[in-house]
Amino acid sequence: MREHLGFLKTSSAVVKIAAWIFLALGLIGGLSLLWGLIPENPRWMGLVILAVYSFLFFFLYLIAKIADLLIKIINEIKKE
């Protein structure tokens, strides 16, 4: 398991970055719909977009945190 720590650390960082990017894009898209900057779509769709991208952010961030926890567990097992 020790040989997979580099992959876990890298993938955790990449997933966290992706989560923050999805949150930023969701906020931009959702708020622009809510404020009426995109005239062809209904404003309530902005709330749907905000909800979906917020869920996606929390889901991806949770996966990254689980990977971080797995790294800590592997390091603790190796110490013993």
pLDDT at 2 > cutoff 80 = no
Kindly indicate the confidence band of residue 64, based on its pLDDT and cuts at 50, 70 and 90: very high
Q: Quick: pLDDT tens for 13-61.
A: 999 999 999 999 999 999 999 988 888 889 899 999 999 999 999 999 9
Decide if 18 contacts 60 (C-beta within 8 A): yes
Domain boundaries, the chain: 2-79
CB hemisphere CA count around 28 (13 angstroms): 6
Q: What pLDDT was estimated at residue 39?
A: 84
Decide if 57 contacts 23 (C-beta within 8 A): yes
d(CA 72, CA 53): 29
